[in-house]
């Protein structure tokens, strides 16, 4: 842990020998000062020759970095997804701490002075991730009871277990049903009725109830049961259900559900929020369902809205009719128009555009337009862009005297390939005269070796011939057309002499498909008029070859 960055007291992202010894000294002392053996102090004897301090590790050169912000304090325990302890840091408020970790998914627990938080996060190669407390959720306090204890009515001490505070042998941990919410204070009433402002209990500041019924509004401290109102419900803590025609508000924690005609607000939720307009909370485990929008700090579960969803981070799914926004997520973003995120570990699926700063390994962007700062996963769409991917325009002259224009975008292991070609003599300025054109779309993969690249593409190709019908007049132009489908394989090799320029040569192999059925516009023979070389014709199937040489501009 110290070499990963916990020992970096100066904040320069380098761990020196003196910093590591100071870290080991303080950690050993803090873990042994309350033991029966008494406080222990580490010692070392090292002889070094030279000037300056010895740097043992450089965090800034690491593949991934986790930043513990300056405002965070407490004991931070990080484990990998299989549960193995990776790092444990006693973080003090004041200065940020940087930890060097490998890319992957992690579980984190922050044991603070007032509460314990936990959550998950994902690291993508080359990224710096800020671990915010807003992305973590509270941990339920557990109580322990020694097996065989006869008097179960005795109050048990609430304990939050950490690496330094484990239950002794023979003890069992059970969840105390009465510890899910803080201890009650104020007065208790099994039933509370209110017209507008709790008229029958105004003399009591804090009311704890099992059930609250209100004509327009009710406000209580804690509910273990339910609240029903024709207007709105307000409470500090709820274990049960809030149902209102207009709104529900829970200032702190709700374990159960909020159902409102207009909106629901909660600080922390474990359960369901459902509203006609919107839902808002800082963190939840469960589901948010709204007619217009949902907003959350972090969550595990599902956000579903008619217009949009917003969250800082989540593990689960965001589904909306228009767009979704999140800082980072593991799971699914599904939107009719667009998805936005900082980091993707999962699937972004939209009708038009997906945008993310980083797409991690195994992550997928699927839409018409996909944009990422860095992509280590997959981009599948009409236009794909990432700084470490393929985004290039090309033009070439083919062996049958066609001009071919191409556009490739995506990742090296899978990119989208689009092309258009027509006879060179058919171009007159920007006008295309009569001739057979070819339109193709498909996917390709690229192998790069130094400045050389080798591409393999599978294309769905169509040959189209259009001409003006004899029925045409100056007022009403009638166009006749023939077409032919011809799946193709495109092989090419290229050389990049300078950064944004690529010289290439290749071959296109096409085989026309015979039309099954009566289609007056389909003519598999029009490919013969493109002056391609037919290298195979057994009477049923034929193979046409076309060579090319050209230039590509890389962006």
**HEC profile of 41-109:** CCCCCCCCCCCCCCEEEEHHHCCEEEEECCCCCEEEEEEECCCCEEEEEEECCCCCEEEEECCEEEEEE
Is the domain of 123 the same as that of 16? no
pLDDT at 172: 37
Last residue of a domain, one of 61, 91, 111: 61
Collapsing DSSP states into helix, strand and coil, what is residue 397? strand
Q: In CATH, what number is assigned to the domain containing residue 167?
A: 2.60.40
Is the domain of 371 the same as that of 428? no
Is the domain of 218 the same as that of 350? yes
Under 8 Å between Cβ of 535 and 545: yes
Q: In CATH, what number is assigned to the domain containing residue 546?
A: 2.40.160.20
pLDDT at 448: 94
Where does residue 352 rank: exposed (0-12), middle (13-18), buried (19+ CB within 10 A)?
Answer: middle
Is 107 inside any structural domain?
Answer: yes
Is 93 inside any structural domain?
Answer: yes
Is the domain of 49 the same as that of 77? no
Is the domain of 41 the same as that of 95? no
Residue 197's φ and ψ, nearest 5 degrees, are -145, 45
Q: Cα(116)–Cα(83) distance, rounded to whole angstroms?
A: 18
Q: DSSP class of residue 210?
A: E
pLDDT at 179: 40
Is the domain of 363 the same as that of 285? yes
Where does residue 407 rank: exposed (0-12), middle (13-18), buried (19+ CB within 10 A)?
Answer: middle
Q: Cα(486)–Cα(527) distance, rounded to whole angstroms?
A: 9
Is 203 inside any structural domain?
Answer: yes
Is 152 inside any structural domain?
Answer: no
Is the domain of 309 the same as that of 376? yes
- Give the burial string for 365-376 (b: 16+ CB within 10 Å, else e): bbbebbbbbbbb
pLDDT at 151: 46
Is the domain of 476 the same as that of 428? yes
Q: Please state, in angstroms and as integers, the Cα–Cα distance from residue 170 to each residue in 10, 167, 176, 235, following that order.
A: 44, 8, 18, 40
Number of structural domains in the chain: 4
Is the domain of 512 the same as that of 398? yes
Last residue of a domain, one of 386, 417, 451: 386
Is 150 inside any structural domain?
Answer: no
Last residue of a domain, one of 386, 402, 421: 386
Q: Where are the strands (E) in 139-186, listed by range?
A: 142-146, 158-159, 171-174
Under 8 Å between Cβ of 11 and 57: no
Is 40 inside any structural domain?
Answer: yes
Collapsing DSSP states into helix, strand and coil, what is residue 530? helix
Q: Cα(210)–Cα(216) distance, rounded to whole angstroms?
A: 19
CA gyration radius, the chain: 33
Collapsing DSSP states into helix, strand and coil, what is residue 273? strand
Tell me how far the alpha carbon of residue 200 is from its chain's centroid.
50
Is the domain of 217 the same as that of 364? yes
Is the domain of 486 the same as that of 436? yes
Q: Please state, in angstroms and as integers, the Cα–Cα distance from residue 474 to each residue in 268, 271, 431, following that order.
A: 71, 69, 19
Q: CA nearest 250: which of 311, 241, 204?
A: 241
Q: Cα(191)–Cα(66) distance, rounded to whole angstroms?
A: 50
- Report if pTM > 0.85: no
Beta bridge partners of 302: 287, 317
Which domain, by its residues, includes 84?
66-144+158-180
Is the domain of 466 the same as that of 440? yes
pLDDT in tens, the chain (555 residues): 666 666 666 666 676 767 767 767 676 766 666 666 666 666 666 666 566 666 666 666 677 888 888 888 888 998 887 788 888 888 888 778 888 888 887 888 998 887 888 888 888 777 778 888 777 877 765 555 544 544 444 344 344 434 344 343 333 334 344 445 555 555 777 888 888 877 766 545 578 889 999 999 988 888 999 999 999 999 999 999 999 999 999 988 889 999 999 999 999 899 999 999 999 998 889 999 999 999 998 899 999 999 999 998 899 999 999 999 998 899 999 999 999 999 899 999 999 999 999 998 889 999 999 999 999 999 999 999 999 999 999 999 998 888 999 999 999 999 999 999 988 877 665 454 457 889 999 999 999 999 999 999 999 999 888 655 555 555 555 556 678 888 999 999 999 999 899 999 999 999 888 765 555 566 667 776 666 666 666 656 788 899 999 999 998
Instruction: Name residue, tokens 């192999």.
Output: 509
């Amino acid at each position: 842990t110290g070499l990963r960055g916990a020992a970096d007291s100066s904040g320069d992202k380098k761990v020196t020998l003196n910093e590591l010894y100071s870290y080991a000294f303080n950690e050993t002392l803090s873990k042994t000062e309350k033991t029966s053996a008494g406080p222990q102090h580490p010692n070392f004897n090292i002889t070094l020759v030279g000037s300056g301090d010895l740097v043992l590790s450089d965090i800034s050169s690491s593949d991934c970095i986790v930043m513990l912000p300056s405002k965070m304090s407490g004991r931070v325990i990080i484990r990998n997804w299989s549960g193995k302890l990776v790092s444990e840091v006693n973080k003090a408020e004041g200065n940020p701490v940087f930890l060097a970790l490998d890319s992957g998914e992690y579980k984190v627990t922050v044991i603070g002075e007032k509460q314990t938080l936990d959550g998950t996060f994902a690291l993508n190669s080359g990224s710096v991730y800020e671990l915010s407390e807003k992305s973590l959720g509270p941990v339920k306090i557990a109580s322990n009871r020694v097996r065989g204890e006869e008097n179960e009515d005795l109050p048990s001490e609430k304990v939050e277990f950490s690496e330094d505070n484990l239950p002794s042998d023979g003890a069992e941990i059970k969840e105390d049903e009465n510890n899910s919410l803080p201890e009650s204070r104020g007065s208790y009433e099994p039933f509370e009725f209110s017209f507008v402002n709790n008229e029958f209990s105004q003399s009591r500041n804090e009311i704890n109830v099992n059930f609250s019924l209100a004509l327009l509004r009710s406000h209580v401290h804690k509910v273990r049961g339910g609240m029903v109102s024709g207007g709105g419900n307000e409470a500090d803590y709820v274990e049960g259900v809030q149902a209102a025609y207009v709104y529900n508000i829970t200032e702190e924690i709700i374990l159960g559900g909020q159902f409102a005609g207009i909106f629901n607000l909660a600080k922390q939720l474990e359960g369901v929020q459902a509203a006609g307009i919107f839902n808002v909370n800082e963190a939840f485990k469960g589901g948010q369902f709204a007619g217009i929008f949902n907003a959350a700090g972090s969550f595990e579960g599902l956000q579903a809205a008619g217009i949009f969803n917003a969250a800082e981070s989540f593990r689960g799914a965001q589904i909306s009719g228009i767009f979704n926004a999140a800082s980072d997520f593991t799971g699914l973003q599904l939107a009719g128009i667009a998805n936005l995120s900082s980091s993707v570990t999962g699937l972004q699926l939209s009708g038009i555009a997906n945008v993310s700063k980083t797409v991690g390994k195994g992550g997928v962007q699927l839409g018409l337009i996909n944009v990422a700062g860095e992509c280590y996963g997959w981009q599948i769409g009409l236009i794909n862009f990432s700084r470490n991917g393929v985004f290039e325009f090309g033009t070439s002259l083919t062996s049958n005297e066609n001009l071919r224009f191409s556009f490739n975008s995506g990742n090296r292991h899978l990119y989208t390939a689009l092309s258009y070609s027509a006879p060179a003599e058919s171009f007159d300025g920007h006008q295309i005269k009569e001739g057979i054109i070819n339109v193709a779309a498909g996917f390709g993969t690229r192998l790069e070796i130094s400045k050389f690249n080798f591409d393999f593409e599978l294309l769905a190709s169509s040959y189209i011939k259009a001409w003006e019908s004899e029925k045409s007049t100056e007022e009403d132009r009638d166009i006749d057309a023939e077409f032919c489908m011809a799946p193709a394989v495109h092989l090419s090799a290229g050389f990049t002499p300078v950064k944004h320029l690529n010289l290439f040569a290749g071959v296109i192999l096409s085989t026309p498909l015979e039309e099954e059925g009566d289609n007056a516009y389909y003519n598999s023979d029009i490919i013969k008029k493109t002056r391609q070389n037919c290298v195979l014709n057994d009477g049923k199937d034929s193979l046409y070859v076309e060579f090319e040489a050209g230039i590509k501009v890389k962006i």
